[in-house]
Amino acid sequence: MSHPQRRERIVSEAEAASWVSDGMTIAIGEPGPMAVIRQLVRRGVKDLTVVGSGVALDLLIAAGCVRKTVAYYVGGGAGGAVAPSFRRAAEAGDIEVWECEEGIVAAGLRAAAQGLPFLPWRGGLGTSLPDVNPDLKLMTDPIRGETLIAVPAIEVDVAFLHAAHADAYGNVQHIGGPGWLDLFLYRAADRCAVQVEKVLSNEDIRANPGATTIAGVDGVIRAPWGAHPFYSRGYYVQDRAFTRRYVDAATTAAQAGDRGPLDTFLRTYCIEPETHADYLERVGVRQLIALHEY
């Protein structure tokens, strides 16, 4: 007689990306879960609302996947003050910017995680945020009578994160702590898939259960170098020259109106490589080894 077997949760990056359909709300963690993001570009997903930040978000905008951003900071990544595709699309009105701030986003994600319609937040009182984002409502606190901001729940269909390790059952162990708002994103999302540098044995996880940062995610993606060109704590540093190439191409598209270099970049690194492994072959083993320190 055979035992019933515990179900493993290993999925490919393409399978995880297939959880997303046009018009959904996705969240992308820090560092960027780039193996999945490239698959989303490759599939040509449209009209996404993206809770995210930085150059990873910018790439999705450049590829035309995004209708709305929930981003408190879209910095330039490689020297510029503002990421180029985000800046152009926002100025042109091609994307809707749900104007927000880090504490406000955290409150909205927490509300979603707790199944609440909103949570109150103080940060942002007196600012323009409730004026330019009508979803943020000024409210009178019924307990003490203070004026606060009601932040609506930021409900996420799928969250994608990148971490150092997980076992096949979705027990995630980070090195150097979960990124930024990652745990908020996980908690707010209906489903969550985590790319990992290495899949550990269940015994290795059990050896140190206190190190488990997220228990039981829905999908574990085997993705060594999966955050490239960003860093992965414990494994590799940021590939700044590669990021620079993207930023330069996107800046040419945004400021000179020439999408040639950007389309070449997207085709070469996101669309033509079918799998994460195909992408890594294009980046090249020498380049990857040069980054392999932390």
Partner 1 sequence: MSDNPADEDILAQPVTRQEVMAAFLANDIEDGEILQVGAAMPVGEVAVRLAHFSHGPNMELIFIGSRMNVAHLHTLPTPEFGWDRRTVRWAESYWDTGHRFDRVKDWGNRVFFIGGVQVDPHGNTNLIGVGTDHRHLRFRGPGSVGTSTLSTLVGRYYIVLNSHSARTFVPRCDYVSAFGWGEGDPEARRRLGLPGGGPKYCVTPLCVMDFTEDTKHLRLRSLHPGVSVDEVVANTGFELVIPPGEIPTTPIPDPEQLRILRTRADERGALRR
Kindly list the residues in this chain that would bind partner 1 in the complex (CB under 8 A): 54, 71-79, 81-83, 86-87, 90-93, 96-97, 99-104, 106-107, 121-129, 132, 146-148, 176-181, 183-184, 213, 231, 233, 237-238, 240, 294
> Considering the complex, what minimum distance in angstroms separates the CB of residue 292 from partner 1?
14
Q: Looking at residue 30, what DSSP letter applies?
A: S
**Distance in angstroms (rounded) separating the CA atoms of residues 294 and 291:** 8
**Distance in angstroms (rounded) separating the CA atoms of residues 174 and 53:** 20
CB of 74 or CB of 217, closer to partner 1: 74
CB of 178 or CB of 219, closer to partner 1: 178
CB of 87 or CB of 165, closer to partner 1: 87
> Considering the complex, what minimum distance in angstroms separates the CB of residue 243 from partner 1?
9
> Considering the complex, what minimum distance in angstroms separates the CB of residue 73 from partner 1?
4
CB of 1 or CB of 81, closer to partner 1: 81
> Considering the complex, what minimum distance in angstroms separates the CB of residue 133 from partner 1?
9
> Considering the complex, what minimum distance in angstroms separates the CB of residue 92 from partner 1?
7
**Distance in angstroms (rounded) separating the CA atoms of residues 75 and 117:** 30
| DSSP string covering 166-223 | E-TTS-EE-SS---TTHHHHHHHEEEEEEEEEEEPPHHHHHH-GGG-SB---SEEEE-
Give me the amino acid identity at 22.
D
The pair of three-digit structure tokens given for residue 22, joined into one six-digit string: 């046009």
Distance linking the first and last C-alpha atoms of the chain: 48
> Considering the complex, what minimum distance in angstroms separates the CB of residue 3 from partner 1?
35
CB of 101 or CB of 167, closer to partner 1: 101
CB of 45 or CB of 172, closer to partner 1: 172
Q: Looking at residue 133, what DSSP letter applies?
A: -
CB of 178 or CB of 273, closer to partner 1: 178
> Considering the complex, what minimum distance in angstroms separates the CB of residue 64 from partner 1?
18
| DSSP string covering 145-166 | --EEEEEEP--EEEEEEEEEEE
**Distance in angstroms (rounded) separating the CA atoms of residues 145 and 157:** 35
